Amino acid sequence: MPELPEVEVVRAGLEPAVTGAVVRAVTVLDERALTRHPGSGPHFEAVLTGRTLRAAARRGKFLWLPLSPGEHSLGDEALVAHLGMSGQILLRSPGAPAERHERVRLDIEHPDHGELAVVFADQRTFGSLAIAAMVATADAAPGGRGAFEPSIPSQVAHIARDPLDPAFDDRRFRETLATRRSAIKRVLLDQSVISGVGNIYADESLWAARIHPEALASDLPTRAVTRLLNEVGVVLEKALAEGGTSFDAQYVNVNGQAGYFAHSLNAYGRTGQPCPRCGRPIVRVSFMNRSSHYCPHCQRPRAR
DNA sequence: CTCATGACCTGTGCGC
DNA sequence: TGCGCACAGGTCATGA
């Protein structure tokens, strides 16, 4: 479940279940789930076993669980997770049968809730788990939602803060846009500029702000940028409140349940259907090896 | 540095 | 019924 709202649903579901829990056992069923881990499957299992999970944090689409110190760790470390295109993190009963695309399982024990299985399942294997060192944040603010310390996993350090983060720097975002001579949608998808926005919410935010996805970022008037940043926040918050977007059973919370935001989409996936604002058909075009959906009437190339 | 493209995977649905 | 193709929520490496 890939974009910010879906990942936040997972983080929030994980938080009460894993905070304070001890990792009793780790099983790596498919090492492709560890492509970002600097070590083998057995190494991952050995390093993680016995550690206590201290929180559930997120920045953009990256999740991490800060870890208690390990035997050989030099500084703070975290278990980092990215769901890629099709990853899921599920909470199951101990000994629950393997999920169809299960890649890694943690057996944990929580002081209040007892034993639980944390299952990482991922059809397309673009997602991954890893153990990474924590490094200081550049702005000394907490690393992200659910993080209490001003640190971030090294693998996530290059990711910008997301628009739901109180420490998101609006001014810097505006300044960056002004220098980018490339399509605004490409910039919205650049996780080093603004994180958490993927293909669905980029299309939805641009539709709401009435900006053409291929309008040049540097050409956008100040008021268009203001509108866009506001709409990104509104769209992400609304999607989060509705449990995220689920087109199929792939995108679910930690209990396997789907979100409802698919019913609230105005542009994404609505090719040929009437624009909810003007009634003319939404079009789909190929862009960056994926799809853009927009209303050619409401979203003109030269934004106002 | 910025920008654009393709690689990495599995699965589903469509037209022929 | 079967086959090939297009497409799917993301990130990263590698060129120009």
Q: Give me the A residues in range 56-85 that sit within 7 A (CB) of strand B.
A: 85
Residue A103 marked ligand-binding: no
Nucleotide nearest the Cα atom of A159 (by C1'): C11
Tokens of A48: 């993680």
Residue A65 has pLDDT above 70, yes or no: yes
> Does the nearest atom of strand B lie within 7 Å of A286's Cβ?
no
Q: Among all residues of A, which ones are annotated catalytic?
A: 2-3, 61, 290
Are the CB atoms for A80 and A57 separated by under 8 Å?
A: no
C-alpha span between A173 and A140 (Å, rounded): 18
pLDDT tens, A112-144?
A: 999 999 999 999 999 999 999 999 999 999 999
Domains in chain A and their CATH numbers? 4-156 (3.20.190.10), 170-294 (1.10.8.50)
Rounded mean pLDDT, A43-57: 98
Residue A304 has pLDDT above 90, yes or no: no
Rounded mean pLDDT, A182-206: 97
User: What's the Rg (C-alpha) of chain A?
Assistant: 20
C-alpha span between A63 and A68 (Å, rounded): 17
> Does the nearest atom of strand B lie within 7 Å of A123's Cβ?
yes
Q: What is the pLDDT of residue A73?
A: 84
Residue A163 has pLDDT above 80, yes or no: yes
Q: What is the pLDDT of residue A303?
A: 61
